[in-house]
């Protein structure tokens, strides 16, 4: 574990623990307030993210930004990261060994950020953070508390692009996160 951001990011730049490093343009480390009260965790970078080295800048990210704007959530106040730091080919779901290779990096980010609320974006984030026994369709929108952190699983923004019916759920979930943050007197 690293106790500072620079060493952690440098260790990821040189990572070759799985095959994803071979096809990457950039690592997609994370972005936002490194002392955020609220953290968002997604699956992995897509083509736009790989090109820019920043999470959630493609179509799904723009959709998430619209929801943030509509709910007055400031992207600069939250921290956004992914399960894997390199793009899986054809934007496929990260394989178990790939996720496991990156998980300690993400855990280190969580320790450094020390968020009070973590929003899990999609099934991959939910299963890798809370456990394989969790299902996004069953847990979506429910607050799960573990080790003094409140987790709220919701749809991944990319799922909203495929199924417009999920947009309302996503909006409600982010609204709940905003309400929870305000009740806890947190910055969002």
Is 142 a domain residue?
yes
With the C-alpha atoms ordered 79, 111, 178, 163, is the resulting torsion angle positive or negative?
A: positive
Is 188 a domain residue?
no
Percent of the chain with pLDDT over 70: 100
Total domains, the chain:
1
Host domain of residue 118: 5-183
123, β-bridge pairs: none
Percent of the chain with pLDDT over 90: 98
CATH code (residue 154): 3.40.470.10
Is 22 a domain residue?
yes
β-strand pairing of 144-146 with 149-154: antiparallel
* pLDDT tens-place string over residues 161-181: 999 999 999 999 999 999 999
What does each C-alpha distance from 104 to 85, 110, 113, 128 come to in angstroms?
A: 11, 10, 14, 11
- Whole-model pTM: value is 0.97
* Range list of β-strands (E), 35-140: 38-42, 79-82, 117-121
Give the pLDDT mean for 23-38.
96
Burial of residue 78, with CB atoms counted within 10 A of its CB: 0-12 exposed, 13-18 middle, 19 or more buried? buried
User: The tokens of 141 are what?
Assistant: 């929108």
Q: What is the pLDDT of residue 54?
A: 96
* pLDDT tens-place string over residues 44-103: 999 999 999 999 999 999 999 999 999 999 999 999 999 999 999 999 999 999 999 999
């Amino acid at each position: 574990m690293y106790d500072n951001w620079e060493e952690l990011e440098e260790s990821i730049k040189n990572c070759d623990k799985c095959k994803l490093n071979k096809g990457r343009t950039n690592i997609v480390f994370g972005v936002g307030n490194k002392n955020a009260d609220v953290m968002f965790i997604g699956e992995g970078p897509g083509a736009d993210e790989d090109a820019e080295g920043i999470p959630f800048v493609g179509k799904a990210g723009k959709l998430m930004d619209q929801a943030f704007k509509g709910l007055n959530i400031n992207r600069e106040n939250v921290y956004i990261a992914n399960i894997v730091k390199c793009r899986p080919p054809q934007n496929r779901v990260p394989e178990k060994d790939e996720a496991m290779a990156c998980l300690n990096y993400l855990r280190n980010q969580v320790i450094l950020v020390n968020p009070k609320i973590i929003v899990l974006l999609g099934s991959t984030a939910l299963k890798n953070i809370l456990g394989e026994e969790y299902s996004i369709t069953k847990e979506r929108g429910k607050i799960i508390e573990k080790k003094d952190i409140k987790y709220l699983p919701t749809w991944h923004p990319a799922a909203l692009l495929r199924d417009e019916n999920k947009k309302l759920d996503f909006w409600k979930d982010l609204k709940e996160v905003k309400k929870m943050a305000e009740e806890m007197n947190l910055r969002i």
